[in-house]
């Protein structure tokens, strides 16, 4: 009950944590998406040496633990690290960088699968209609929009709930880098279960909505002839 | 509009697990505006491969293209091929949305909305598709989809058209409509290359009949000798 009270009592701290979570994860997924779309498209439609190897690497990276991503970004951004001069450690930018790395493999792999599932004649037809390369690329994106949306939602689901990388590179600083998963971890360790449960409800609700949307878009993607 | 385009020494082989499979070896072919060439050959001889190379969609091992001035390597002529040659798949790909949207995609992006709408309406009429304008293109029959593809080509005003089995699995009425549209394209000075097993049906249309066998093109015997075009 305490948890529900917290959620509906406009607790500023709680909603600030939720706000930081969404701001960081939305920025990460929106920054990663164009890049992932481009790579997935090239992997699906162009043949070059090392293509299969790249596909295997991205598939393997799907299982990359968040805490290891956090560790790598931490090493890179720490004052002794190669990017230490940027002074980004324990900032939202560092969290965004870590989350971009986390969601890229899932975005690329699922977008690649969506492009592959589409008839390859689509690209050739667009090109032979004299449509310039970039416009043809946008047309193909429209053709596989449901599969790509499913990839986007799966990627977002992966980063909004991850705790390891955000904790390591964000530092869990209140009002600044504390997001939903790191707050849950902290409040639970302090024995303050009500805030943990309240944030857990938000995450569960989000996971439920994302899954409903995912099912819907995957179904639409498969049902289109 | 390009009056003549010549492809020379087109060679293509596909890499297998242990050895390369040769498909085309030093193939020469010239396409003329207002002339129709029929290409036949047994399955697996490389007809579709040749068409895709001519369309700029598949890179050959070697080959040159001449648009009327000098020979260019295929790689350097690719952009021009994509711009001038239209390749129609055996089962044309229909984009998401209505028949009208499929037509509109073939209109150059530089045209205004009003101009695009006018051109699309003309193309719908030309392709005998006006009453299907708002139908989902993916739900049309094979014959209707082929007409959408031809109307897109007409809209684009491609000087060269390559058709891969354009009337395969089509009923007599649909084939007749397709051939009628091809006659109109021919009279509009389009250079046409048709790849088909069914050569009798194109008899009224075809000026030259070539056969792909043993990696090379040879003159086939079925066509009227007085109607041939120079190579």
**DSSP letters for A123-149:** HHHHHHTT--HHHHHHHHHHHTHHHHH
The pLDDT of residue B212:
92
Please report whether residue B20 resides in a domain.
yes
What is the ipTM score, two decimals?
0.82
Q: B58 falls in which pLDDT band (50, 70, 90)?
A: very high
Interface mutation vs chain A, best among B15, B91, B96, B107, most A CBs within 10 Å: B96
Q: B1 falls in which pLDDT band (50, 70, 90)?
A: very low
Please report whether residue B219 resides in a domain.
yes
Helices (DSSP H) in B39-188: which residue ranges? 47-54, 74-84, 99-104, 113-126, 142-156, 172-187
Phi-psi domain of B2 (left: phi exceeds 0; alpha: psi -120 through 50; beta: other): beta
CATH number reported for the structural domain that contains residue B29 in this entry: 3.40.50.300
Please report whether residue B100 resides in a domain.
no
Q: What's the mean pLDDT in B111-136?
A: 92
Q: Which two tokens stand for residue A90?
A: 């324990």
CATH number reported for the structural domain that contains residue A132 in this entry: 1.10.3720.10
Distance (Å) from the alpha carbon of A140 to chain B's nearest alpha carbon: 9
Please report whether residue B26 resides in a domain.
yes
User: Domain count of chain B?
Assistant: 1
Please list, in sequence order, all residues whose beta carbon lies within 8 angstroms of the beta carbon of residue A109, skipping any fewer than 6 positions away.
A40, A55, A58, A59, A62, A151
Our measurement of the distance from residue A60's CA atom to the centroid of its chain's CA atoms, rounded to an integer in Å, reads 16
Please report whether residue B215 resides in a domain.
yes
Contact between chains at B89 and A121 (C-beta distance less than 8 A): yes
Q: What's the mean pLDDT in B139-148?
A: 90
Q: In residues, how long is chain B? A: 231
Mean pLDDT for all residues in chain A:
89
For residue B81, pLDDT beyond 70:
yes
User: Domain count of chain A?
Assistant: 1
Contact between chains at A139 and B156 (C-beta distance less than 8 A): no
> Is A62 in contact with A109 (CB distance < 8 Å)?
yes
- Percent of chain B whose predicted confidence (pLDDT) is above 70: 94
Mean pLDDT for all residues in chain B:
88
Please report whether residue B171 resides in a domain.
yes
> Is A169 in contact with A98 (CB distance < 8 Å)?
yes
In terms of pLDDT, which residue wins out, B178 or A218? B178
CA B164/CA A175 separation, integer angstroms = 64
For residue B165, pLDDT beyond 60:
yes
Helices (DSSP H) in A46-91: which residue ranges? 51-61, 66-77
Sheet of B62-66, strands arranged across: B20-32, B4-15, B62-66, B71-73
Q: Which residues of A touch B2 (CB under 8 A)?
A: none
Q: A28 falls in which pLDDT band (50, 70, 90)?
A: very high
Please report whether residue B13 resides in a domain.
yes
> Does the CA dihedral A166-A167-A168-A169 come out positive or negative?
positive
User: Residue A52 is part of which domain span?
Assistant: 2-223
For residue B3, pLDDT beyond 90:
no
Classify strands B4-15 and B208-213 as parallel, antiparallel or unpaired: unpaired
Q: Chain B: residue nearest A119 by CA? A: B93
Q: In residues, how long is chain A? A: 225
User: Residue B16 is part of which domain span?
Assistant: 4-91+138-227
Contact between chains at A125 and B89 (C-beta distance less than 8 A): yes
pLDDT in tens, B83-107: 899 999 988 999 999 999 999 999 8
Please report whether residue B121 resides in a domain.
no
Q: A221 falls in which pLDDT band (50, 70, 90)?
A: low
């Amino acid at each position: 009950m305490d948890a529900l009270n917290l959620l509906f009592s406009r607790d500023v701290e709680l909603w600030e944590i939720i706000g930081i979570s969404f701001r960081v994860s939305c920025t990460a997924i929106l920054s990663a998406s164009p890049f992932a779309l481009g790579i997935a498209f090239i992997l699906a439609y162009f043949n070059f040496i090392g293509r299969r190897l790249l596909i295997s690497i991205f598939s393997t990276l799907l299982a990359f633990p968040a805490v290891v991503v956090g560790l790598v970004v931490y090493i890179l951004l720490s004052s002794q690290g190669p990017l230490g001069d940027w002074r980004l450690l324990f900032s939202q930018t560092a969290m965004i960088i870590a989350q971009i790395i986390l969601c890229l493999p899932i975005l690329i792999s699922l977008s690649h699968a969506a492009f592959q599932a589409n008839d390859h004649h689509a690209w050739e037809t667009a090109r032979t209609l004299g449509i310039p390369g970039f416009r043809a690329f946008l047309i193909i994106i429209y053709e596989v929009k449901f599969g790509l949306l499913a990839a986007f939602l799966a990627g977002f689901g992966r980063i909004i709930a991850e705790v390891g990388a955000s904790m390591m590179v964000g530092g869990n600083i209140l009002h600044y880098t504390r997001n939903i998963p790191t707050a849950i971890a902290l409040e639970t360790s302090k024995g303050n279960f009500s805030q943990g449960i309240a944030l857990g409800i938000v995450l569960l609700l989000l996971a439920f909505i994302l899954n409903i949307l995912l099912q819907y878009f995957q179904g639409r993607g498969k049902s289109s002839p | 509009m390009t009056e003549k385009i010549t492809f020379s020494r087109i060679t293509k082989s596909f890499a297998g697990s242990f050895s390369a499979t040769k498909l085309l070896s030093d193939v020469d072919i010239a396409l003329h505006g207002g002339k129709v060439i029929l290409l036949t050959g047994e399955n697996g001889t490389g007809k579709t491969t040749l068409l895709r190379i001519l369309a700029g969609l598949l890179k050959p091992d070697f080959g040159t293209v001449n648009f009327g001035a000098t020979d260019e390597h295929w790689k350097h002529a690719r952009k021009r091929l994509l711009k001038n040659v239209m390749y129609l798949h055996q089962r044309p790909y229909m984009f998401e949305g209505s028949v009208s949207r499929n037509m509109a995609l073939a209109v150059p992006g530089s045209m205004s909305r009003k101009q695009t709408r006018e051109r699309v309406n003309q193309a719908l009429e030309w392709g005998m598709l006006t009453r299907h304008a708002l139908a989902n293109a993916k739900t049309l029959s094979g014959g209707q989809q082929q007409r959408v593809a031809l109307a897109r080509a007409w809209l684009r005003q491609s000087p060269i058209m390559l058709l891969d089995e354009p009337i395969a699995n089509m009923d007599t009425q649909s084939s007749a409509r397709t051939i009628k549209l091809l006659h109109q394209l021919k009279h509009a000075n389009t250079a046409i290359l048709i790849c088909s097993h069914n050569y009798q049906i194109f008899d009224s249309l075809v000026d030259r009949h070539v056969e792909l066998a043993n990696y090379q093109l040879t003159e086939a015997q079925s066509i009227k000798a007085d109607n041939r075009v120079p190579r």
